[in-house]
Amino acid sequence: MDAFTYQKGELYAENVPVAKLAEQYGTPLFVYSRTYIRDHFRALARAMAEVDTLICYAVKVNSNAAVIATLAAEGAGADVVSSGELLRARRAGVPADKITFAGVGKTEDEIETALRENILLFTVESEQELERISACAARLGATGRVAIRVNPDVDPKTHKYISTGKKENKFGVDILRALQIYERAAALPGLEIAGLHMHIGSQILSAQPYAEAAAKVAEVCVELKKRYPTFRMLDIGGGIGIRYRPDQEPLLPPALAEAVLPILKPLKLKILMEPGRFIVGNAGVLVVRVQYVKNGPSKQFVIVDGAMNDLIRPPLYQAHHEIGAVRETPETVFGDVVGPVCESGDFFALDRHLPAVRQDDLLVVHSAGAYAYSMASNYNSRPRAAEVMVCGARHELVRERESFEDLVRGERIPIW
């Protein structure tokens, strides 16, 4: 489904006019479609139905409680990278036995929190981390179920900042050393060898790197299954790419399944996946209001009330986000959509043919459901935006706009 469509020239979020949401909740405003999120989760689950699959939504992608709860209600687990995310997932209704904990830098505190919660799996990135989990588990009298993250050295053909499965990346352990590291894990107390993990990158638009990486780790899994009777899970990570440009072909679940299922099925393991962007990316838009229109010598600057602190992907990854007018207009202008932050990097679009808008008109920045609010900051002392969820004709505020009090909470001026 398309969550955002025009009806008689007006942009709707499901069955609600976006202009009405902007009026009621103010701008900048993130709007998420619950139906889209649910349908995308279901589409992936359906495509993978031939194997026992647990889809652990990657909480970093959009950590709003309403988003996590929508997925938890569908039976999703959660992939977390900090105790903050772990507690968010638990609070939004994800059972601990569906939670995986990823990340290269887990602290002792975080490991202990996860052990106390008795989560499903730690995806482990180094030998030192194995030792630390073992020591924490021994101290607590708990067991840490572990999957070692193996770096299969496959090129996911994505932006270099979000490629993680090549040997020059900091993630995982060298596939050639994997068996040796599992031996080390087997010798440590408090650990259970439960699985193997891979995650090769994000915004991957072809099934081929997945198949290549899966084939490489499958060989290791066969050996691990022989050696360790507790070895039962293969986590193939996230990374499914979405459409940011109208002419882009997204990677769809059936194509992914067709490529990986022939490799995964014979393993007879429980398959874990950690998608994020695929589920929520195009479920969201950022609604902004035009503050000023300024004509420069070669182009127009449309200055809006949202900024790089709300959505940093364009300057950070040279990412393309479609821009649309909330009230359709046939006229276009050439120029940039920029925010009020004091940086030339504060833009949503550069050198584009844009809908011709005037002061006080509304624009939307598309594909803002993933890595937008979750990467937002308070730069320039800008309070973070509000978030609204829509479901059919219903809509509800799912996070309040921050206030000045929120901005300064916890700050102190020393008496000296």
Residues forming contacts to ligand LLP in the complex (CB under 6 A) are 58, 61, 79, 102, 162, 199, 202-203, 237-240, 274-278, 313, 317, 371
CB 283 → ligand LLP: shortest distance, Å? 12
* Alpha carbon distance 103, 111 (integer Å): 11
Provide the β-strand partners of residue 370. Answer: none
273 vs 326, which CB is nearer to ligand LLP? Answer: 273
| Residue closest to ligand LLP, measured at CB | 238
Instruction: Supply 219's token pair.
Output: 């060989």
Q: Shortest approach of ligand LLP to residue 85 CB, angstroms?
A: 11
Give the rounded distance of the alpha carbon of 289 from its chain centre: 26
Among 218, 197, 199, smallest CA distance to 146 is for 197
The nearer residue to ligand LLP, 88 or 289, going by C-beta atoms, is 88
Distance CA(404)–CA(156), nearest Å, equals: 42
Query: How many angstroms separate the CA atoms of 95 and 72, rounded?
Result: 8
CB 308, min distance to ligand LLP, A: 13
CB contact at 8 A, 307 and 380:
yes
**H or E element that contains 42:** helix 34-47
* Min separation Cβ 102 and ligand LLP, Å: 4
- Cβ 105 to ligand LLP shortest distance, Å: 12
The β-bridge relationship of strands 394-399 and 386-391 is antiparallel
Active-site residue identified among 56, 136, 221, 342? 342
CB of 184 to ligand LLP, least distance (A): 22
Residue with smaller CB distance to ligand LLP, 281 or 339: 281
Closer Cβ to ligand LLP, 4 or 371, answer by number: 371
Annotation says 342 is catalytic: yes
C-beta closer to ligand LLP: residue 44 or 136: 44
Count how many residues are written for the chain.
416
Four-CA torsion 375, 376, 378, 379, nearest 10 degrees: 80
Nearer to ligand LLP, 144 or 237 (CB): 237
CA distance to 104, 113, 134, 295, per residue, from 123 (Å): 9, 15, 13, 52
- Name residues whose C-beta falls within 8 Å of residue 176's C-beta, 6 or more positions apart in sequence: none
Q: How far apart are CA 270 and CA 147, in angstroms?
A: 12
User: Catalytic residue numbers?
Assistant: 342
